[in-house]
Structure 1
Amino acid sequence: MVSLKHKEVLLKSLQTSQVSKDTTPEQLTNLVAAVRASTALSFSDQDLTLERKNHSKPLLVTMLCNQKKVPSVLVDNGSALNICPLSTTTAIGFCPNDFTPSYQGIMAYDNSRRDVVGNLSTTIFMADETFDVEFQVLDIKSSFNLLLGRPWLHTVGVVPSSLHQKLKFMKGSRVITVRGDEDLEVGAILSDPHGNSA
């Protein structure tokens, strides 16, 4: 619903705009839709990768954490947690003394109960932006180095698309787009300073 004042401003804008007589009503509708979409986070066919729709890849990104490049970060809007495998904490330079206690247990995909080793609050860097994140540290073998779930996605206002292999979020009035790791295989590992795999 639009207020009378908004309607008047819109009509005045349209009356003072110069539109070519060659412009079809459909083109004008598309123009107005583009203006409205400029502040919305959405995806179109133009955002598709070269593979188009012929893939089933998860959305993986690379970021920095604790001044280390971390590949194979799974962005998963199906996860209710941000997860950091215990092996990743070692590889990026954290130790159990950096964790805060957690008495939380979670149900894994196979319905087994897993205890959270601790919570790790840290800062991540992506697309020239910094984000504070709390991860639940789990002693698990995984195909990802970190998992960013709904707690991070919703706090930042991120809209991910595994189909388009991108995520988008707003920074002020700008739409920031982060491309997924196109050449990265699921399970790309992070090495710790001692040469051990995460």
Structure 2
Amino acid sequence: MNFRPILSFSEEDKIRTIQPHNDALLVTLRIGDYDVKRVMVDGGSAADVMYPDLNKGLGLKPEDLMPYNSSLMSFDEKLVLPKDMIRLPIQTGPEIVEVNFILVDTYSPYTAIVGRPWLHTLGAVASSLHQKVKFPLGDQVLEIRGC
């Protein structure tokens, strides 16, 4: 019999958060070989996005990048023309998933945004209210706390 854990959030998941709040869900993720802070989890984003500071911090070389020629819509509903794309591993606990990051050359208070591609690959559910991401691993549920 296959047991599949249920991903849910309860009142107990709000412990250690200040309520009420309207905070974005920011996490620290291991991208490549680095612990990257200020990564926004956005379940409304159809793309995983990397900003210039992270691109520079990871020391990516032009030959590591692939061309990307589709436009994106920014938070302020302006058209953003991405530069390139790169496939990188994200480690969350014992799980490692690879995602395509789209590099954009614009200011952001975040180092990166992980959206539905990362969430769906991991099988994760995010809650900004609870400031957590939960995902199944075998017969257990692991979580990433917002920071």
Please, which of 55, 64, 71 is the counterpart of residue 105 of structure 1?
71
Tell me the matched-pair count: 145
SS at match of 1:178: strand
Please, which of 83, 108, 118 is the counterpart of residue 142 of structure 1?
108
CA distance in 2, matches of 1:177, 1:144: 21
CA distance in 1, matches of 2:134, 2:35: 20
Task: Give identity over the alignment, percent.
Answer: 34
Higher strand share: 2
Higher Cα Rg, which structure:
1
Higher helix share: 1
CA distance in 2, matches of 1:47, 1:107: 32
Q: Name 1:64's counterpart in structure 2.
A: 30
- The superposition leaves residues 124-153 of structure 1 with CA deviations (integer Å, 9 ceiling, x where unpaired) of 112232111111110011011111001111
CA distance in 2, matches of 1:66, 1:127: 14
Q: Name 1:43's counterpart in structure 2.
A: 9
- Paired residues for 1:65-104 under 5 Å: 65-104=31-70
CA distance in 2, matches of 1:73, 1:159: 16
Structure 1 unaligned residues grouped into runs of 5+: 1-35, 182-198
CA distance in 1, matches of 2:16, 2:117: 31
**How far off its partner does 1:112 sit?**
2.2
TM-score, normalising length: structure 1: 0.68
Paired AA for residue 66 in structure 1: G
Larger relative contact order (Cα-Cα within 8 Å, sequence gap ≥ 6): 2
**How far off its partner does 1:49 sit?**
2.9
SS at match of 1:170: strand
Q: Name 2:83's counterpart in structure 1.
A: 117
Paired AA for residue 46 in structure 1: E
Q: Name 1:152's counterpart in structure 2.
A: 118
- The superposition leaves residues 62-102 of structure 1 with CA deviations (integer Å, 9 ceiling, x where unpaired) of 11122111001100001111000133111112123211011
**How far off its partner does 1:123 sit?**
0.6
Name the CA shift for 1:86/1:95 in 2 (closer, same or farther; >3 Å): farther
SS at match of 2:118: helix
CA distance in 2, matches of 1:178, 1:108: 26
SS at match of 1:54: coil
RMSD: 1.7
TM-score, normalising length: structure 2: 0.90
Paired AA for residue 118 in structure 1: D
- The superposition leaves residues 37-72 of structure 1 with CA deviations (integer Å, 9 ceiling, x where unpaired) of x82100000111333532221111111122111001
CA distance in 1, matches of 2:33, 2:103: 19
Answer whether contact 2:17 2:131 (CA < 8 A) is retained: no
Q: Does 1:169 align with 2:135?
A: yes
